[in-house]
Amino acid sequence: MERIFAFFIGAMCFLNVFSLLFNQSVKIGEKFIDFRNMGDWYLLPVFAFFILGGISFYFAFRSTKNIKKYPEYLVCLKCKTTWWFGHLRDKSKCNFCGGEVMDASKYGDYIRKIEFLEKRKKGPKRRSVRNKRKKDKGSVDENK
């Protein structure tokens, strides 16, 4: 919606630029504003409309990778409190405990990763006796 509005403003500004250059008058609403008696000073609104139109077209057609997006909700890793981004005083620390905060949408993946690493620390699973026998039989057959 913002991009459509910016495109519309840019197009209207450039139409006003052409109107000022050729007719030296602009229709704004119901009134015509005449710049003929200003001499060369009528170029001042031409440049103003041209710059405003250029900025509007930039906002309409800029790539989305230039737009910085902030996370909407953040979770404290220490006390597990959820914060709205605007309510944090320091955007990287919790207001209560001072712990680190992270994006709430990535928090579930973070918890799963921690659980996986904790399971891995416990050590490898023991093999059943039956699996050991199969492995031993296979190694004996290979030596023959």
The share of the chain scoring above pLDDT 90, in percent, equals 22
Task: Give the pLDDT mean for 1-19.
Answer: 93
The H or E element spanning position 75 is strand 73-76
The residue with tokens 């500004």 is 13
Taking only the tens place, the pLDDT of each residue in 18-40 is 988 888 887 777 888 888 888 88
pLDDT (0 to 100) of residue 92: 77
Q: What is the mean pLDDT of the chain?
A: 80
Q: Distances from the Cα of 124 to the Cαs of 59, 114, 121, 135, in angstroms? A: 56, 17, 8, 17
Find the DSSP H helices in the chain. Answer: 2-23, 43-61, 104-121, 129-143
Asked if 33 contacts 25 with a C-beta cutoff of 8 angstroms, the reply is yes
Surface-to-core class of residue 77, CB atoms within 10 Å of its CB (0-12 exposed, 13-18 middle, 19+ buried): middle
15, pLDDT greater than 60: yes
Task: Give the pLDDT mean for 57-61.
Answer: 93
Distance CA 85, CA 70 (A): 8
**Domain ranges, ordered by start, for the chain:** 1-61, 73-122
12, pLDDT greater than 90: yes
Distance CA 128, CA 125 (A): 9
pLDDT (0 to 100) of residue 96: 78
Taking only the tens place, the pLDDT of each residue in 85-111 is 777 777 778 887 888 888 877 777 777
Q: How confident is the model at residue 56 (pLDDT cuts 50, 70, 90)?
A: very high
